[in-house]
Structure 1
Amino acid sequence: MRLVFAPEISAAFFGGDPDNFNFPRYALDVSFLRLYENGKAVRTPQHLTWKARAPLPGEATFVSGNPSSTDRLLTVAQLETQRDLILPIGQLQRAELRGRLIEFSRRDAESRRIATDSLFGVENSFKALFGQQSALNSPSLMDAKRVEEAELRARVAADPALATRIGDPWSEISALQKVTADQFLRYRQLEAASGGNSELFDYAQILVRAARERTLPSSERLPAFADARLPLLEKQLLDAAPVDPALEQLELEFWLLKTREYLTADDPVTRLLLGRESPEALSQALVAGSRLGDPAVRKALWDGGEAAVAASDDPMIRYALKIDAEARAVRKAWETQVSAPTEAAAARIASARFAVYGDKVYPDATFSLRLSYGKVAGWTWRGREVPPTTTLAGLYERATGAEPFRVADRWLAARDRMNLDAVLNFVTTNDIVGGNSGSPVISAKGEVLGAAFDGNIHSLGGDYGYDAILNRTVVVSTAGATEALRHVYGADALVRELGVR
């Protein structure tokens, strides 16, 4: 598989964070790959047809892809915990980390380059979860969830045999929310989000745990270390990737600061993590002394197993070894007291839903292949009509010359050569979530009209439920992409390969 074409980031992510998860949108968020076999491009006689035309308002659209995950089957009690505890804690930390990364990126041009990916990831997550938080704060969504839950419970209660089989998993899950609240911060800081976003800590933890887990039968290991997953884990661990010490220290220091803040300085976990050190000094020492940025060092530890890891004097390895037993204990407590009983109760609720509704409702997304149907349509928000399409002309009108609304010089030079009325982005009512990015958007005739690359801000509540009035899929149009390929990038051969004459 080889990369054929990808635009510069100013085109792919035009509008940056302000436009992310919004519409109108003017992004050429596309790339093209070609498959090869025995050194020759693969011939695929059966394929969808690229159609470089504008979508029609109201036109039927289909999206084929693999939506990642949704939480539409959570109980009201679980949604309240998400709204009141889990999302706010994460958002507070993301907001502060975003500020630290912005300040880091302002040091100089190199710092800006180094921080770009991390800042993008934090800003993207912050905005996505802001949309989820907004949905859970909406009385209409929560009221609808309460009505749905009450109806299902009533239908179960009305069938004595079903009620005996199902029991009362809703009350069980409700009672588990106190246990969740009691354990969440410790579990988050020491296990689920341990090390923050530090690559060096992540390498160390993988090496320490892999050394132990690989001595066990596959069925007894932590899921990430099962035989089926080891090849990919090994590749990810050993792939060469740049590690910047200054950014590493920022990430590790922030995690230690937040752990001390949330758990308090007197908590045994905090004392284990810091000892008598400050977050600033400890993070500096761990990063400065570690050699795990070198793939050869990581490979030697991976191949050497328990003996090599135990003998290592790398400070990050020593640190991961020091805290691993407590982290595992926190993980085990969470799994046995929170996730396992929750999953068991949720399975009975799912069984009840199927018994009552059959195949009239579909299950949560799990990366399995799905086909979504919808149509090209805008929406109305707070009295303002949002049209379903944007054009190349709108891109130039939106451009200010300053980031993130700056177009590349080649785009400025190509302006007079393009059809400025060509549709660049459009929206549809298709029900998609994260994981669908890159999915083809297809007409009823099997024509590719574009590629899904985002949703509007309202669609972020799609994690909990779909709102046909407001939720929209954001699409790069084949019409606008073809214009850009021809007149901005001179990719005429690629255009011909796509079948456009």
Structure 2
Amino acid sequence: MNEKKIIAGEIAKIQKENSENGKYVVEVKSFYQGNEYYYFVYQDYNDVRLVGTPPNSIGKFGGDTDNWEWPRHTGDFSIFRVYADKNGNPAEYAQDNVPLKPKHFLPVSLKGVQEGDFAMILGYPGRTNRWMPAGGINQNVKFAYPAWVEASKTGMDAMKKFMDQDQAVKLNYASKYSQVANYWKNRQGMIDALTLHKTAESKAKDEAKFDKWANKAANKAEYGDVIKTINEFYASTNEKARHDNYLMGMLRSSAIAALPNTIGSGLEVYTAGDEARRNAILPRLKSAIDAGYEKIYMPLEEQVLIDELNLYAKKAGNIAPYIAELAAKNNGDFTAYVKESVKNSIFASAERLNNYLENPNAEILANDPLYKLSSALLNRYRQVDPSWKTQDDKFEGAYRKYVAGVLASNPKGKFYPDANSTLRLTYGSIKGLPQDPRNDADKNFYTTLKGTIAKYKKGDEEFDLPQRLMDLYNNKDYGRYADKKGYLPVNFLSDNDITGGNSGSPVINGNGELIGLAFDGNIEAMAGDVIFDHKLQRTISVDIRYVLFIIDKFAGATNIIDELKIVE
């Protein structure tokens, strides 16, 4: 039995032994790259109901322009209520469930924050890679992330051209554009930060020291080949990483790069089936077609696919064989081919697909140009080479030994495991950045409603504001939520260590009182998932006083305020 099966078997035993016949959810998590395991016991409440959210113009104020930026003026929060059965136990949704009354809940502080105040955050950060070897950082900075950035920007530029021309198209593609733009900005920030900090070079020096220790007589048998194996793995996968990111960039940006294959696989089953089989799967197919094409604007999709294919064929290297054939036939320019394919494809619209369902034909489906193109891309995306698994297994073993060796070589050192979606605490303090002329605040660790109003642009998707919020500002009607200096706080900075998954985590002061909700970081420390920068890295949080102001003064939901324990 191999190691992974043994570990999986032990995990299953631990879960069974500690769940109390399903009363608790038991998760066993790997730490330090598989050198240690811990199990977590949860009691999950599934009846969780939305109470309210601020309007988009408050909750996402600043949009993509302000994402990862400071100064920030975003009221990013939402309110949920947990329900239980009458005895306070978890229960599936039922009308007679009642709001949960926990043993403890956080008091909410109106005392505000000052620079240097203690702050801690409890949450469930998703993933960090602080143990990533130098080769992995180099691969990301020089191969993977540049491809991701270029493919994302290519898709964004094509989308924006059509979004700017038609408000309906802009609305339909706003979410997709935002998702692509978010990671585009993130990956470019990672490249810049990791390059600036020379992170790979620093890690390489540490690895060279480790390699000397590893090749001492007492350690050589266990650790001697660790660094060599790690470096060989990255050297052999750099070009694959580049290709995969160009391909994934296309699939993220272009709906018709993936959709024909996704729906077409169902059409194959439908076409080959008898009447009973067809009737059984027809509702699912119609639902998939309706969902897939609901917001599609084909002129935009055409252009995105053309631009992405041109980039992929030119830059990605070991591309899908069928795409390589088409590139050779069309001199690397897919413009005419894609336009002609859309004219002739049943996947060009929901109407054509529904017509096909009336008269299915295996030959038409098999020769459909968009289906063939999409299938080629997805087959390349799903391609698994047996040699890759061998490489991965060798690398994982070496990586685990590397971490084990670092811990063994420095038993008095202080090392922490990467984030893995388990509960973590980060502590620090309220801490600003050097003064910024864009921030009206007297110190650059907080922002105010005045700064929010200063960014207002009527009708702008990112910087429009509700008239009621502006009226409250003009009347200085802040209620009890204003700072003692008279301004209404919006966001603040702290030097806590968070990452994706921490959004919405409570920020707590030294008295155990809620002072804010974490939701973002600053672009200067974009490399935070790989290396923590004590000088530049900041957490951006919405001040709890702004949250309460929006609930109370803006929305008039005083019944929610009455449920809270507020500390003046």
TM-score by length of 2: 0.71
**Alpha-carbon offset, residue 187 of structure 1:** 3.7
**Alpha-carbon offset, residue 355 of structure 1:** 1.9
Larger radius of gyration: 2
3-state SS, counterpart of residue 218 of structure 2: helix
In structure 2, what residue type is equivalent to 1:20?
N
Backbone CA RMSD of aligned residues? 3.8
The answer to whether the aligner puts 1:60 opposite 2:118 as a matched pair is: yes
**Alpha-carbon offset, residue 206 of structure 1:** 5.2
Partner of 2:556: 490
Partner of 1:448: 514
**Alpha-carbon offset, residue 363 of structure 1:** 1.9
Contact kept, 8 Å, 1:200 with 1:293, in 2: the verdict is no
Quick one: distance in 2 between partners of 1:293 and 1:357? 62
Moved more, 450-459 or 114-123: 114-123
Moved more, 381-390 or 195-204: 381-390
**Alpha-carbon offset, residue 317 of structure 1:** 5.2
Contact kept, 8 Å, 1:272 with 1:323, in 2: the verdict is no
Contact kept, 8 Å, 1:485 with 1:492, in 2: the verdict is yes
Q: In the TM superposition, what are the counterparts of 1:34-49 in structure 2 within 5 Å?
A: 34-36=81-83, 37-39=93-95, 40-49=97-106
**Alpha-carbon offset, residue 318 of structure 1:** 5.4
Mark the runs of 5 or more structure 1 residues left unpaired by the alignment.
213-233, 301-307
The answer to whether the aligner puts 1:169 opposite 2:220 as a matched pair is: no
Contact kept, 8 Å, 2:502 with 2:519, in 1: the verdict is yes
Contact kept, 8 Å, 1:101 with 1:119, in 2: the verdict is yes
Q: In the TM superposition, what are the counterparts of 1:66-465 in structure 2 within 5 Å?
A: 66-158=124-216, 160-189=217-246, 192-193=248-249, 195-199=251-255, 201-203=257-259, 205=261, 240=291, 242-246=294-298, 247-263=300-316, 268-271=321-324, 279-280=334-335, 283=338, 285=341, 289-290=346-347, 319-321=373-375, 325-329=379-383, 331-332=384-385, 335-336=388-389, 339-357=392-410, 360-380=414-434, 387-401=444-458, 403=460, 404-415=462-473, 416=475, 417-418=477-478, 419=482, 421-465=487-531
Quick one: distance in 2 between partners of 1:140 and 1:339? 26
Contact kept, 8 Å, 1:196 with 1:255, in 2: the verdict is no
**Alpha-carbon offset, residue 251 of structure 1:** 3.9
In structure 2, what residue type is equivalent to 1:332?
D
Contact kept, 8 Å, 1:459 with 1:473, in 2: the verdict is no
**Alpha-carbon offset, residue 396 of structure 1:** 2.3
Partner of 2:36: none
Mark the runs of 5 or more structure 2 residues left unpaired by the alignment.
1-47, 84-92, 269-284
Contact kept, 8 Å, 1:439 with 1:452, in 2: the verdict is yes
Quick one: distance in 2 between partners of 1:137 and 1:120? 26
Deviations 1:378-414 (A, max 9, x none): 1338999962212223322343547333322121122
Partner of 1:469: 535
Q: Higher helix share goes to which structure?
A: 1
Q: Find 2:72's aligned residue among 25, 39, 55.
A: 25
**Alpha-carbon offset, residue 148 of structure 1:** 2.9
Quick one: distance in 1 between partners of 2:143 and 2:179? 22
Partner of 1:220: none
Contact kept, 8 Å, 1:195 with 1:252, in 2: the verdict is no
Q: 1:321 to 1:119 in 2, by over 3 A?
A: closer
Quick one: distance in 2 between partners of 1:407 and 1:318? 47
Relative contact order (alpha carbons < 8 A, sep ≥ 6): 1 or 2 greater?
1
Identity %: 23
Deviations 1:440-462 (A, max 9, x none): 11223322211110001123111
3-state SS, counterpart of residue 219 of structure 2: helix
Count of residue pairs the alignment pairs up: 467
